[in-house]
DNA sequence: CTAGGGCTATCC
DNA sequence: GGATAGCCCTAG
């Protein structure tokens, strides 16, 4: 299945009241893009929603919030107060719940260690972590103090009653969902609705057809019926889509339409046998139903989404014909007003192409069999471009509309003398070995033997501060020389 | 990751 | 300037 369609479907069903087991099965079988921050965020939010569905919060939410914060940071988005508040509230809730019962004091101790000492303290060393707040540090002090003083315990319990972790998380989820925006399929459906309204006003489309199309989209994933008309349309669109398959992302080297998971659409394509083997492994009634629904949703979507390519081609053609008329007046700019493409011709002359995609494509298609880039060119020499443009008269005469840039001069360089980048590593400041370090090294060698520098280093890393296992080896060489 | 050669800063 | 300690680089 096409990665984009898989992504759209997942994004669409994310917020549907689908059972987690079915949803997890979907995740398992659909090809997922490796880097899709939007989908990842939506997945995290769904996971968080699942976690709080029983009316309480869990420590897993802390992890989800941390991942969410990382995604925000990667995108340069600032974390919100709602996120900080949710993180703090969950951390407090997951700790203080053990204070209510005195017999659970051990569990409270463990929770403080796990959540506040390990998870939260490590964030103190990093600046601008989006889930931490002043409030969080205040709570940490209170919670740690409650470890030793009963009076502080009461205080912590009282204060924690004033906050509701579940509510805080819900507020965050709502806000985060708004940030992400509606699923792509819903946006498409809405756009189509609006488009149809305009067309209806202009009398460009008959009512019956419009009703059918809107219905087919609005029922995607719910209703399993599909008219013959839609099926035909879907086939046409599917064929058209394949024409510009180059714009689609694929995973690995699998042919189009084949994925590691279950193949859902386009069963006439190659690779069907391989996917069928896996399909057979995943036959449960629920998964079958979900697969069937997805198949139909996908087909209906293809039928409903208008392929922009024919219109774009028409527009391009119109622009090109206009451009041809006016090209005489604008020699340095191409028909579409875009900057000219720079191409290097067979003589090594850099030329500006008009940016005409057709010209380029024809050029490529008509070219003699393209040699492999790995094959050695017998006429090739080792040259480097000299960027200086001090000899402007050297440019070859313009031919037709082509705009010619001056020929770059070539300078012969020896292939043996490649320019190398010198590593700019700063040498560490020399630090004398202390007696304690030497003694630790000796005892380490005695215990683990010569050569196990990593092991010796790891078991005494607090003593060997600023050293490396190699330093230990060097020092031992020095001690024994 | 380790071993071993080589480089450099520091000490005398 | 030689000796040495500490550090770096790289092959295996």
Tens digit of each residue's pLDDT (9 = 90 or more) over A237-247: 433 333 333 33
User: Does the pLDDT value for residue A165 go beyond 80?
Assistant: yes
Least confident segment among A4-8, A204-208, A430-434: A204-208
Whether any strand B atom is under 7 angstroms from the Cβ of A474: the reply reads yes
pLDDT of residue A369: 38
Residue that wins the pLDDT comparison between A460 and A25: A460
Grade residue A95 by pLDDT with cuts at 50, 70 and 90. Answer: confident
pLDDT of residue A399: 37
pLDDT of residue A355: 37
| Residue A214, C-beta contacts closer than 8 angstroms, at least 6 positions apart | A189, A192, A193, A196
Whole-angstrom Cα distance, residue A15 to residue A45?
9
User: Which nucleotide is closest to A425, CA to C1'?
Assistant: C8
Whether any strand C atom is under 7 angstroms from the Cβ of A478: the reply reads yes
Whether any strand B atom is under 7 angstroms from the Cβ of A454: the reply reads yes
User: Which nucleotide is closest to A468, CA to C1'?
Assistant: C7
Give A423 CA → B5 C1' in Å.
Answer: 19
User: Does the pLDDT value for residue A454 go beyond 60?
Assistant: yes
Grade residue A108 by pLDDT with cuts at 50, 70 and 90. Answer: confident
Least confident segment among A32-41, A140-149, A251-260, A278-287: A251-260
pLDDT of residue A313: 55
Whether any strand C atom is under 7 angstroms from the Cβ of A427: the reply reads yes
Mean pLDDT (chain A, rounded):
64
Give A474 CA → B2 C1' in Å.
Answer: 11
> Three-class SS of residue A225?
coil
> Three-class SS of residue A270?
coil
Whole-angstrom Cα distance, residue A388 to residue A393?
13
In chain A, residues 104 through 123 whose Cβ sits under 7 angstroms from any atom of nucleic acid strand C: none
With a pLDDT cut of 70, the percent of chain A lying above it is 50
> Three-class SS of residue A384?
strand
Whole-angstrom Cα distance, residue A198 to residue A460?
74
Q: Structure tokens of A339?
A: 């900057």
Give A470 CA → B5 C1' in Å.
Answer: 14
Grade residue A65 by pLDDT with cuts at 50, 70 and 90. Answer: confident
Residue that wins the pLDDT comparison between A153 and A52: A52
The secondary element (H helix, E strand) that includes residue A352 is strand A350-353
Give A443 CA → C7 C1' in Å.
Answer: 23
Least confident segment among A59-63, A442-446, A471-475: A59-63
Q: Give alpha helix (H) positions in A162-258.
A: 165-180, 184-202, 207-218, 228-243
| Residue A2, C-beta contacts closer than 8 angstroms, at least 6 positions apart | A248, A256, A257
User: Does the pLDDT value for residue A229 go beyond 90?
Assistant: no
Chain centroid to Cα A353, Å, comes to 35
Nearest to A98 by CA among A81, A115, A122, A118: A115
Give A420 CA → B7 C1' in Å.
Answer: 20
Whole-angstrom Cα distance, residue A12 to residue A7?
8
Whether any strand C atom is under 7 angstroms from the Cβ of A412: the reply reads no
Q: Structure tokens of A136?
A: 């969080």
In chain A, residues 375 through 434 whose Cβ sits under 7 angstroms from any atom of nucleic acid strand B: 427, 429-430
Whole-angstrom Cα distance, residue A294 to residue A31?
14
**Looking at residues A24-42, what average pLDDT do you find?**
76
Residue that wins the pLDDT comparison between A128 and A90: A90
User: Does the pLDDT value for residue A449 go beyond 90?
Assistant: yes
* Nucleotides of strand C lying closer than 7 angstroms to a protein CB: 4-10
> Three-class SS of residue A383?
strand
Whole-angstrom Cα distance, residue A6 to residue A30?
6
Give A440 CA → B8 C1' in Å.
Answer: 27
Question: Which of A75-79, A132-136, A169-173, A436-440 has the highest average model confidence (pLDDT)?
Answer: A436-440
Whether any strand B atom is under 7 angstroms from the Cβ of A469: the reply reads yes
Nearest to A219 by CA among A1, A2, A3, A12: A12
> Three-class SS of residue A279?
helix
Give residue-wise pLDDT tens across range A332-357.
333 333 333 333 333 333 333 433 33
Give residue-wise pLDDT tens across range A124-136.
666 677 888 888 8
**Looking at residues A394-411, what average pLDDT do you find?**
43
Whether any strand C atom is under 7 angstroms from the Cβ of A481: the reply reads yes
Whether any strand C atom is under 7 angstroms from the Cβ of A428: the reply reads yes
Whole-angstrom Cα distance, residue A30 to residue A3?
8
Whether any strand C atom is under 7 angstroms from the Cβ of A472: the reply reads no
Give A481 CA → C3 C1' in Å.
Answer: 13
User: Which nucleotide is closest to A455, CA to C1'?
Assistant: B1
The structure's pTM equals 0.42
User: Does the pLDDT value for residue A282 go beyond 80?
Assistant: no
Please give the protein residue whose CA is closest to the C1' of the nucleotide C4. A478
User: Does the pLDDT value for residue A215 go beyond 60?
Assistant: no
Instruction: Print the SS3 string covering A55-117.
Output: CCCCCHHHHHHHHHHHHHHHHCCCCCHHHHHHHHHHHHHHHHCCCCCHHHHHHHHHHHHHHHH
Least confident segment among A32-36, A293-297, A430-434, A474-478: A293-297
Whole-angstrom Cα distance, residue A280 to residue A405?
61
User: Does the pLDDT value for residue A222 go beyond 70?
Assistant: no
pLDDT of residue A357: 35
Give A469 CA → B11 C1' in Å.
Answer: 26
The secondary element (H helix, E strand) that includes residue A325 is helix A309-326
Whole-angstrom Cα distance, residue A291 to residue A221?
10
* Nucleotides of strand B lying closer than 7 angstroms to a protein CB: 1-6, 8-10
- The CA dihedral of A448, A449, A451, A452, to the nearest 10 degrees, is 0
Instruction: Give the number of residues written for chain A.
Output: 481
User: Does the pLDDT value for residue A187 go beyond 70?
Assistant: yes
Question: Which of A3-17, A29-43, A153-167, A195-209 has the highest average model confidence (pLDDT)?
Answer: A153-167
**Looking at residues A159-183, what average pLDDT do you find?**
86
Whole-angstrom Cα distance, residue A78 to residue A65?
13
Beta-strand ranges (E) seen in A417-467 are none
Residue that wins the pLDDT comparison between A112 and A216: A112
Whether any strand C atom is under 7 angstroms from the Cβ of A425: the reply reads yes
Whether any strand C atom is under 7 angstroms from the Cβ of A7: the reply reads no
pLDDT of residue A78: 79
Question: Which of A34-43, A129-138, A394-403, A462-471 has the highest average model confidence (pLDDT)?
Answer: A462-471
Give residue-wise pLDDT tens across range A293-340.
656 655 655 555 555 555 555 555 555 554 444 443 333 333 333 333
Give A381 CA → C2 C1' in Å.
Answer: 51
Q: How far is the first Cα of chain A from the last one, in angstroms, to the nearest whole number?
A: 66
Whether any strand C atom is under 7 angstroms from the Cβ of A471: the reply reads yes
pLDDT of residue A455: 94
pLDDT of residue A331: 37
| Residue A269, C-beta contacts closer than 8 angstroms, at least 6 positions apart | A255, A256, A257, A258
> Three-class SS of residue A118?
helix
User: Which nucleotide is closest to A470, CA to C1'?
Assistant: B2
């Amino acid at each position: 299945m096409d990665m984009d369609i898989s992504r759209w479907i997942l994004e669409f069903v994310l917020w549907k009241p689908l059972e987690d087991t079915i949803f997890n099965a979907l995740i398992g079988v659909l090809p997922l893009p490796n880097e899709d921050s939007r989908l990842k965020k939506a997945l995290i939010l769904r996971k968080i929603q699942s976690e709080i569905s029983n009316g309480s919060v869990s420590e897993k939410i802390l992890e989800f919030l941390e991942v969410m914060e990382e995604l925000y940071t990667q995108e340069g988005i600032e974390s919100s107060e709602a996120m900080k508040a949710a993180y703090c509230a969950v951390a407090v809730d997951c700790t203080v719940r053990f204070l209510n019962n005195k017999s659970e004091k051990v569990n409270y101790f463990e929770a403080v260690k796990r959540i506040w000492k390990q998870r939260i303290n490590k964030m103190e060393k990093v600046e601008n972590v989006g889930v931490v707040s002043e409030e969080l540090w205040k709570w940490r002090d209170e919670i740690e103090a409650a470890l030793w003083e009963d009076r502080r315990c009461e205080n912590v319990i009282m204060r924690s009653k004033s906050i509701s972790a579940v509510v805080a998380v819900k507020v965050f989820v709502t806000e985060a969902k708004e940030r992400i925006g509606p699923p792509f399929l819903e946006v498409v459906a809405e756009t189509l609705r609006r488009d149809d309204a305009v067309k209806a006003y202009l009398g460009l489309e008959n009512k019956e057809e419009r009703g059918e199309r809107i219905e087919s989209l609005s029922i995607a994933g719910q209703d399993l019926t599909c008219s013959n008309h839609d099926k035909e349309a879907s086939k046409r669109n599917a064929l058209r889509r394949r024409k510009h398959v180059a714009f689609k992302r694929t995973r690995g080297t699998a042919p189009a339409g084949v994925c590691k998971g279950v193949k859902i659409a386009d069963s006439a394509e190659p690779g069907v046998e391989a996917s069928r083997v896996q399909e057979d492994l995943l036959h449960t009634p629920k998964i079958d139903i979900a697969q069937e629904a997805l198949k139909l949703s996908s087909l209906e979507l293809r039928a409903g989404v208008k392929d922009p390519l024919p219109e774009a081609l028409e527009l391009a053609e119109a622009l090109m014909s206009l451009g041809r008329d006016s090209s005489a007046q604008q020699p340095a700019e191409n028909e579409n007003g875009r900057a000219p493409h720079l191409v290097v011709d067979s003589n090594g002359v850099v030329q500006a192409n008009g940016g005409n995609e057709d010209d380029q494509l024809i050029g490529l298609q008509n070219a003699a069999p393209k040699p492999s880039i790995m094959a050695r060119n017998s006429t090739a020499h080792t040259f480097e471009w000299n960027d200086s443009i001090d000899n402007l008269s050297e440019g070859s005469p313009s031919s037709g509309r082509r705009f010619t840039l001056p020929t770059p001069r070539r300078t012969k360089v020896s292939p043996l003398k490649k320019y190398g980048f010198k590593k700019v590593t700063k040498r560490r400041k020399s630090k004398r070995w202390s007696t304690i370090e030497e003694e630790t090294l000796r005892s380490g060698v005695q215990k683990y033997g010569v050569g196990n520098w990593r092991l010796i280093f790891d078991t005494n890393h607090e003593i060997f501060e600023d050293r490396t296992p190699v330093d230990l080896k060097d020092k031992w060489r020095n001690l024994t020389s």
